[in-house]
A and B are shown apart, each in its own frame.
Chain A
């Protein structure tokens, strides 16, 4: 009997539209944003640690540590100043009339199955589904779900993500689809077009969300398609290291202020 009731509850969760069930996930991310961020920062710093062979004295170490603390404090103050001046700061050359909403990353799930972020901005901050998200001045994804205070970002590497792009100076547009594994694919491009590794890939403008093309990634690999040798099989890697982003920026076109 117990089993039946729980199974029923599970089926209700499964069949309820994701828009509603997302509220549980967003609530968890919001309530535990602090420990989740700490856990993420620890794992990131652990991954970034390089084996060091050089050793400095304790005195030198303390001196450098103090300098770092001072610089960090200075940086913090500058960041606050920038946030205060967001009206000016948030207007980029290519995005006239748009506002860039800075958001912290609460959790990042980046693997072959899911590539998404949960950020600490939501409907209350003017976010809606489909808005473009930037990381280190390049496009990293789009808003896929929003709650009042949090939002989910579907990364460009997510297998369900499809974005219209152009490669380098080519005048043809193609769809770029996420590949999982921190990369995306551009297919159906004839080999008569010259494409090489390292070419910049731009997301095309999208009325209401993006007014000018912006960098989205770089061509990491370019080879003939196995199934159709007259086409390219292009692998694109994001223009920034998404996994290590601590904050992102959401483009809010025509903000209502």
Chain B
């Protein structure tokens, strides 16, 4: 794992997620893809388990930095990123539809957990939370697999030779 590249990459993506992604936001609910979620799944299925754990928590931390409260995304991304990495040792997630599905399920579960954890911090809980989480996960799952290739290029990861250790 090239950690400096990883740090720079996450930093850029975090800044883009905080501002530029609004361009492709849709509907009145302002639904936009979660680039950090896409990267979470990317690293979980392209790195070994210990690297996946570190990247998951780091990406969660980045999501917290641009979110409303600290801690909730770090825990939810860390937990589901780790679970996905272990799952990937059993079931290889190579095809794009499976990658999409992995992004959708991870995004939805991580979103729900983060929502519950946010209750500890007295964060706003609108009625349509689950709708937003659902559509954000779906949008991310549609966009996500197409971003895997440039991510792999930047991280110098050979996608066809990933290990399952």
Using a CB–CB cutoff of 8 Å, the interface residues on chain A facing chain B are: 2-3, 6-7, 9-16, 18, 21-22, 24-25, 28, 32, 35-40, 42-44, 46-47, 107, 109-114, 116, 158-160, 178-182
Contact = CB atoms under 8 A, between A and B. Distances in A.
Contacts of A32: 15, 18
B65 A24 contact: yes
Q: Chain B's interface: helix, strand, loop or mixed, by majority?
A: helix
Interface residues of B, number: 43
A39 B74 contact: no
Interface in B74-99: 74-75, 78-79, 82
Interface in B125-146: 125-126, 128-129, 132
Contacts of B29: 111-112, 181
Nearest to B70: A21
19 contacts: A3-B53, A6-B74, A13-B70, A14-B117, A15-B120, A16-B70, A21-B69, A25-B66, A35-B15, A37-B19, A39-B15, A39-B18, A43-B19, A47-B22, A111-B29, A112-B126, A159-B125, A159-B126, A160-B124
A24 B15 contact: no
B24 to A, nearest CB: 9
Interface of B: 14-16, 18-23, 28-30, 50, 53-54, 57, 60-61, 64-72, 74-75, 78-79, 82, 117, 120-126, 128-129, 132
B71 A15 contact: yes
